[in-house]
Structure 1
Amino acid sequence: MGDISLYLSEIIWKSHESCFIDSFLAVILIQAIDIGLLSKEELHFSNDDLVWKKIISSDDILIKKYQNLLKNRNVLYMLGDINTHDFLIKTKFYGKNPTIKQKDGSLKLLSEVNEEFKRNFLKVKKRNDDGWPVIILGKLRTRDEYFKTLFY
């Protein structure tokens, strides 16, 4: 359980890529509701496939723009380093340090009994705490203030 939560925290739930995806999708969904393409009930109670089909069938300029950003997100930015970046993406840490019952009946955190897990846990937590340094590429560079507002 511990290793899975670290993997999901770093790679799936709160990676730099998922922050872009989540932000772009939020704009799309808000716009879809605002223009009446989707109702809040459809968003909450229907399935992803139905919602996505409605979104991709839309001719709305803002929705199309953000669909394009979603599709091309891999060329919008690159990871920088702490000294070279436009902004840092910081997220909540979701890693778990499970409690393990010992032979004597006592309870200890996995990081107290497994050095490899402890190193990995601290590494992933530090990465999360430090943030993902992001450099905006190409045409979007002129809009980096906009992106800063998305992620702060």
Structure 2
Amino acid sequence: MTRKQRRLTLIAAAGCVLGVALGLVLYAMNDTILFFNSPADVQARNVQPGTRFRLGGLVKEGSVKRSDGQQVVFEVMDAQSAIPVRYQGLLPDLFREGQGIVAEGVLEASGVFRADSVLAKHDENYMPREVADALRRQGHWQGEEKASQQAEQ
């Protein structure tokens, strides 16, 4: 084997090893990546119970019910549907009805989303991009456009 052939063989072997390593890393990350879903997406995709994901939308007006201790039950909605959410813990200070939120957790067999964490929007002009885009596509949220129209009047 010539020097050039050995070098090409070594480069090809290194490329194969790097490709396999990258494939293994991506496969391992597949279980830890959490995707955002709106309530309509969850129902359309028939998400299986036990699946971990992020649920985003608006807190439905009149749906927040607080029970013993720190347990809170509320509904997250978009323009087409709503999903009940159960959360045990302290909610963010900015959490309220009509508020845009993202909850991270697991869908139970009963159809209730059991949230581990709840994130509320930062200020009146901020909403997570994924939530804003999903609500904007459905014509349910106008965001900055609505605020700028009100400022002009």
TM-score normalised by length of structure 2 = 0.22
Higher helix fraction (1 or 2): 1
Higher relative contact order (CA 8 A, sep 6+): 1
* Structure showing the higher strand proportion among its residues: 2
